[in-house]
Amino acid sequence: MEVFTFNTQSVPFHKKQVSHIEELLLLTKEMDASDLHLSAYSPPAIRVGGYLMPVKCPSLTPEEIRRLIDQLLTPRQREVLEERKAVDLAVEVSGMGRFRINSYYQRGFITAAIRRLADRIPELETLGLPPSVWKLADLKDGLVLVTGTTGSGKTTTLAAIIERINATSRRNIITIEDPIEYQHFNRQSIINQRELYSDVPSFFDGLRSALRADPEVILVGEMRDLDTMRTAVMAAETGHLVFSTLHSRDAVSSITRVLGIFSPEEQNQIKQQLSISLRAVISQQLLPRADAPGLRVLASEVMFITPAISNLIRLGKLENIFTAIETGKKHGMQTTEQSLLSLYKKGLIDYRTALQSARNPSFIKEKIGTS
């Protein structure tokens, strides 16, 4: 969960009362803020340089927040919000760029977290991932998972990989996203982006439909249920290149998460399928930079499926995979701890951040203590 720190300094606002959501979106852009938060009986707040700062205007009532959020929603999205008590979407506002909106109920009131999205898809080389990750765009088939908590940059990484494929090869690419954050335009490839609830009712329906559309590359925004996972693995096994995300911390827990969705009767079969179809797992964290307050840097664990790791998955010996990653530098692999140590030595994160972010803090203590 992302932790916010309040700054007591308030942000000046040119109006005494908020009448339209675009007024706050414009302020967010002008202040170069990353996020805008609307919560009942509090003034709006924007995050600048890692701190949440209240906007200097009256507190918003639940009715005012509903009115502001309604200005961004389609009729179908309003229905989803009422049915599911939460909705995700992305909108483009003329002259201000794109924003991702997560609106949900808390204590019976509507609230919202609005993130300002990048104006363009970043180059894969600029993300802070090892160069070995770049070759994922050259794969012809298989399953690639990008994992991490909310806000760890999974969507950005996938968008950069998809854009690399778009720029370098002629393929039919279909994405199913919730919501569409980055817009791709046809370059070498054809890209069709489908948004949950607007274009397709579920990830599973979107994936099943995509398989009938002659795709070579499929991006599934998140594998949330058994049917989606089963179909994604089957698609990867039958010649498609499938990208997706999971909310898991590292490579081993990602595999455990996938296997755990299936019944005991299916375990042997899914281990066999995963050992053949899985190509890579990238696990990410975005951490505060020690040398640039307000900015963040990417720490990552990278696992590529070698014959040895494939065999460990097939046999269910997942506890041995970590050692294979740790000693797999020649294959472009690294553990989270190795990534953290590298960032610390470069002065990009401090000692405390390295310890708190490690799965095995004793590794960090030992290496830094002897370095």
Q: 160 and 100 in one domain?
A: no
Q: How confident is the model at residue 3 (pLDDT cuts 50, 70, 90)?
A: very low
CATH number at residue 54: 3.30.450.90
With a cut of 70, say whether residue 367 has pLDDT above it. Answer: yes
- Which helix H or strand E contains 370, and what residues bound it? helix 361-370
Q: 316 and 245 in one domain?
A: yes
Q: What is the pLDDT of residue 272?
A: 97
Among 82, 116, 150, which residue terminates a domain? 116
Once rounded to an integer, what is the mean pLDDT over residues 198-226? 95
First and final CA of the chain: distance in angstroms?
32
Q: 199 and 320 in one domain?
A: yes
In Å, how far are 96, 129, 150, 287, 296 from 293, measured between CA atoms? 25, 21, 21, 11, 8
Q: What is the pLDDT of residue 10?
A: 66
pLDDT tens across 297-331, in order? Answer: 999 999 999 999 999 999 999 999 999 999 999 99
The more confidently predicted of residues 95 and 322 is: 322
Q: For residue 288, give its domain range.
A: 124-334
CATH number at residue 274: 3.40.50.300
Q: What is the pLDDT of residue 1?
A: 34
Residue 364: closest CA among 299, 317, 309? 299
Q: How many CB atoms lie within 10 A of CB 237?
A: 18
- The whole-chain average pLDDT of the chain stands at 92
The answer to whether residue 365 sits within a structural domain is no
Q: 162 and 94 in one domain?
A: no
Q: 200 and 53 in one domain?
A: no
With a cut of 60, say whether residue 2 has pLDDT above it. Answer: no
The answer to whether residue 355 sits within a structural domain is no
* Encoded tokens for 52: 């949440």
Q: What is the pLDDT of residue 19?
A: 85
pLDDT tens across 270-285, in order? Answer: 999 999 999 999 999 9
Q: 269 and 128 in one domain?
A: yes
Q: 231 and 85 in one domain?
A: no
pTM for this prediction:
0.87
Q: 188 and 84 in one domain?
A: no
pLDDT tens across 148-207, in order? Answer: 998 899 999 999 999 999 999 999 999 999 999 999 999 999 999 999 988 999 999 999
The answer to whether residue 356 sits within a structural domain is no
Structural domain count, the chain: 2
Q: What is the pLDDT of residue 115?
A: 92
Q: 135 and 103 in one domain?
A: no
Among 116, 146, 173, which residue terminates a domain? 116
